[in-house]
Amino acid sequence: MDGTEPVLLLGPMLRYADETSASIWLETDRPTTVEVLGRATTTFCVGARHYALVLVEGLTPGGCVEYSVALDGRVVWPDPTLGQPPSVIRTPVPGQRVTVLAGSCRAAAPHHPPFSLERLFDHEGRGIDSLWAAALLIQTRPVEDWPDLLLFVGDQIYADDSSPGARERIAAARSDGSDLPPAIVAGFEEYCWLYHESWSQPVERWLLSTVPSMMLFDDHDMIDDWNISAAWVDDIRRESWWAEHVIGGLVSYWIYQHLGNLSPAQIREEGLLDRLLAMSDGTEVLRRWAFESESSTPLPGGYRFSTVREVGDVTVVMVDCRNSRVLEPGRRLMVDDDEWDWLAGRAREATGHLVLATPLPVFVADGVHDLQVWSEAVCDGVWGRRAARIGERVRRALDLEDWSAFGASYAAFVQLVADLQADEDGPESVVVMSGDIHFSYAAQVLPAASGAPPVWQVVSSPIRNALDPHERKVMKLALSRPGRAVGALLRRAARRADNRPAIDTVAGPFFANNISELRYDADHIELVVANFTPDGDGRPELRELSHLDLGSRHHRLEPRSETDLGLVQ
């Protein structure tokens, strides 16, 4: 050591909070003892980096307590130079109002021009970051009106399309002449750079320090089309750089995202964190774990990344639909049988409101649905081997991998939802929250009988990575009446039955950067979809895209659209 004091590099992040416990995640520059609210832990080391997860237990239900972070006895958070509100831990209780802020697909870039411009005006433009803008607005609200949960449903980082700043750093680091493009990260250390770029800015850092979060990866957290098919897996494993890329991706994901999803009880039961804390360097332990997890694809038996959390009367079931796939042609499953049984069991246990969070949408427009049904049939050989090879290229080119491209899993999901609606003791409402597709919408699914809970598909995407004008035109065509007709024609030609969801799209599609808010009150559920535009001084100004009443089992209202309410009020 050089004799200087330890430094807080990233965090603190309030990851978990229930009625009596919480977890605080952070990264430091060296081994140290971390203390929060009188609870202390040492850091663990992976890849010459140092992390801590402080488990705070014995909290008061329904409480709100400010906290600080000390490293080796020296307080390093809050940082008085940032001028932020205090970081707090709020513990939920049954019956309280619950607010969930949800989104996906967040590309990292500075919050000033040209990066804050739309792509129409500059090729480097990403638009206004909806998470950053929402955080600025939240800071102006009283603490009781802050969200109770941040729900990130995929693509928290872009490991295959990194920012200009990250590319420069990666290119400089690869002075050995690596043939891997700098847009694709090579291994664990470069993944870490992406997380730091995404989460280190002051406003976002404060938000993550004071609102609990759940995170689930999608393909770009690893690479585009990740596990789209068995043929894709065979092809990617022939690449010389893939092994280091996927191991670094899974190790960094477990540290930066998944670990904080777990409750203190789950962490102790799993035991992996305790193993790391007992070692001077846990790098090989996590690398071996990552290799075993990845090598199980395309067969079941890998690590379970799906998880569940309760916030007041809201149960959130996070569905891993990337690493738990079965990709055997003719028997493709989005989630393997064992994990699906576990997930369905958790959903059926929910008695309040239920959120089924899955990065890829389940219920999509009829034309898009039929196109994916057709794709699976052709790739499975319904038109012969030559057509299957062409169909595989089309599948990857058009990203045909939503739930409807995994027919057996789609049918199981539909059946689960129908069972939940029929169960008189089941949930009050069901919201399927998804991302991935870079536009947002809200649609009612499976019209319910009197007294049954409503079911909604809500897609919230992107936080910051809007489609360019050409891409929007293509997507709008796919969603149009002609697109529906083409999809139906292809499905029938592939001799597949009509199992279209026939959703009633009430809001959207919205293609601008946006973020969604679910508000659960005692007698109703509201959904606000909002984006942000610059005011005269370049500051973000909220613009509501839609405001809907989603109803509940005992409070069924027709959806309505309003513009007179603000996000988080």
385-399 residue pLDDT tens: 999 999 999 999 999
pLDDT tops 70 at residue 524: yes
Q: Which pLDDT does position 450 carry in this prediction?
A: 65
pLDDT tops 50 at residue 12: yes
Which residue blocks in 254-365 are alpha helix, DSSP H?
Answer: 264-270, 272-277, 283-295, 337-349
- Number of helices and strands (H, E) in the chain? 15, 23
Query: Nearest 5°: CA angle at 472, between 466 and 106?
Result: 15
Higher per-residue confidence, 45 vs 183: 45
Measured CA to CA, the distance from residue 565 to residue 145 in angstroms comes to 14
Measured CA to CA, the distance from residue 311 to residue 148 in angstroms comes to 8
Q: Which pLDDT does position 162 carry in this prediction?
A: 81
pLDDT tops 80 at residue 552: no
Q: C-alpha 69: how far from its chain's center?
A: 27
Q: Which pLDDT does position 366 carry in this prediction?
A: 93
- Which of 215-219, 300-304, 504-508 tops mean pLDDT? 215-219
- Of the candidates 360, 391, 390, the one whose C-alpha atom is nearest the C-alpha of residue 373 is 391
pTM across the whole model = 0.94
Buried b (16+ CB within 10 A) or exposed e, 39-73: eebebbbbbebbbbbbbbeebeeeeeeebebbbee
Domains of the chain: 94-549 (3.60.21.70)
Mean pLDDT value across residues 354-366: 96
Higher per-residue confidence, 181 vs 200: 200
- Tracing tokens 């007294």 back to the chain, one arrives at 451
Q: Give the strand pairing for 33-36 and 307-311.
A: unpaired
Q: Which pLDDT does position 168 carry in this prediction?
A: 86
Q: How confident is the model at residue 296 (pLDDT cuts 50, 70, 90)?
A: low
Q: Which pLDDT does position 414 carry in this prediction?
A: 95
Q: Which pLDDT does position 257 carry in this prediction?
A: 98
122-169: pLDDT as tens digits: 888 888 999 999 999 999 999 999 999 999 999 999 999 888 888 888
Residues 29 and 52 sit within 8 Å (Cβ to Cβ): no
Q: How confident is the model at residue 39 (pLDDT cuts 50, 70, 90)?
A: very high
Q: Which pLDDT does position 20 carry in this prediction?
A: 97
How many other C-beta atoms lie within 10 A of the C-beta of residue 492?
Answer: 13
Mean pLDDT value across residues 457-462: 96
Q: How confident is the model at residue 300 (pLDDT cuts 50, 70, 90)?
A: low
Measured CA to CA, the distance from residue 204 to residue 506 in angstroms comes to 31
Residues 143 and 567 sit within 8 Å (Cβ to Cβ): no
Mean pLDDT value across residues 394-415: 96
pLDDT tops 80 at residue 501: yes
Mean pLDDT value across residues 94-103: 95
Q: Average pLDDT, whole number, for the chain? A: 91
Q: Is 456 helix (H, G, I), strand (E, B) or coil?
A: strand
Q: How confident is the model at residue 566 (pLDDT cuts 50, 70, 90)?
A: very low
- pLDDT > 70: what percent of the chain? 94
Q: Which pLDDT does position 553 carry in this prediction?
A: 58
pLDDT tops 80 at residue 554: no
Mean pLDDT value across residues 502-508: 90
Q: How confident is the model at residue 298 (pLDDT cuts 50, 70, 90)?
A: low
